[in-house]
Amino acid sequence: MRWLLLRRLSQTAVLLAFALAPPQIVSGTLAGSLWFGAVPLTDPFAALQALLATGAVSASGAVGALIVAAFLALLGGRAFCAWICPLNMVTDLADAVHRRLFPARAHWLRIDRRARHAVAIAVLAGSAAGGLVLWEAVNPITWLQRSLAAGTVAALWIAGAVFTFDLLLVRHGWCGHLCPVGAFYGWLGRGRRLAIAVRDRRACDDCGRCFSVCAEPQVIAPALRARSDEGGVIDHPDCTLCGRCVEVCPPRVFALAVRSPAASAANARRGPTDASTGGRQGAAHATVAGDDSLTAAAIGAAAQRRSIQ
């Protein structure tokens, strides 16, 4: 539970900073803020929308966007989703309840995981065509953070809507299928240096726990099916570096690793939905482009093996 505890501490600390810290420490929102009166941090997705909508971005906004984009590209990728985003606490809770109440059902409504990429592209196109920062007008991440900081009931409505959607309609529905921010951060982080590695594939007993708890389970199979006995690296841009696979695995198959610059560059050049590799690894990549049928099958097979044993 160490990874989960660290993530909750990180998310809570950020929320408390925006809610309680004086403006000399932090001012603004998750979309754009100024820390310690000197360090701007700007959501690069919001900055790009502003650039497309108005043709200009303020100097501090541009610097803040470059700082965040550099971190995402070099290290974090979608780490924001698991370590900073306040909605992640809501979606994780919904998933925990879902697994307890509906262990055999992934979802009632089927949404292609590529929908979030389509939403991101539509937001950017809409910002350019409409002349406004389109997503920030409705962004539930920023709305939730602002509402929590102000102590208004809007936070309950936002959290409740996302919780209900993930619990009753689509498992991991918001983060894994619709959120354009996560999709955009995944684009930026395709060549990131940090990744979850498979330390020893031979130690894996196919229990399926990693698939069960992962918000992006389709990213695990290619690493476990690597050709070497040691295993591969979960290098897909959809991985949020949440570390859940690390802490639920009794044989300690997974670990956080730092990839070489050459490996990071090679992954950045490779398409995130490449299903043309053939065989099992190709099928695993194909899950990204479609539904979670392969992942569900893997979990079901693992559960069946445990019942036989």
Q: What is the pLDDT of residue 191?
A: 87
- Residue 294: the pLDDT is 46
Percentages (nearest 5) of helix, strand, coil residues in the chain: 60, 10, 30
The pLDDT score that the predictor gives to residue 264 is 57
State residue 151's pLDDT score: 84
Which DSSP state fits 132? S
Count other C-beta atoms under 10 Å from residue 93's C-beta.
15
The answer to pTM > 0.95 is no
Written as six digits, the tokens of 105 are 């059902």
Q: Residues 267-294: pLDDT tens digits?
A: 655 554 443 233 333 333 333 333 454 4
Our measurement of the distance from residue 307's CA atom to the centroid of its chain's CA atoms, rounded to an integer in Å, reads 32
Collapsing DSSP to helix, strand or coil, 194 comes out as strand
Question: 210: which 2 tokens?
Answer: 């990693």
For tokens 């693992």, name the residue.
302
| Cα(75)–Cα(214) distance, integer angstroms | 20
Nearest of 28, 50, 203 to residue 126 by alpha carbon: 50
User: How many whole angstroms separate alpha carbon 88 and alpha carbon 95?
Assistant: 10
Q: With beta carbons less than 8 A apart as the criterion, state whether 198 and 254 touch.
A: yes
For residue 170, the 8-state DSSP code is B
Query: Does the structure show a pLDDT above 80 at 235?
Result: yes
β-pairing, 39-42 vs 32-35, is: antiparallel
Region of poorest pLDDT, from 20-29, 121-130, 201-210: 201-210
Instruction: Give the full edge-to-edge strand order of the sheet including 254-258.
Output: 233-234, 194-198, 254-258
Q: Residues 6 or more apart from 284 whose CB is under 8 A from it?
A: 218, 221, 222, 225, 294
pLDDT of 306 strictly over 80: no
Check residue 267 and give its pLDDT: 60
Residue 105: its pLDDT value, please?
A: 72
Q: What is the pLDDT of residue 293?
A: 46
| DSSP of 1-40 | -HHHHHHHHHHHHHHHHHHHS-TTTEEE-SSEEEETTTEE
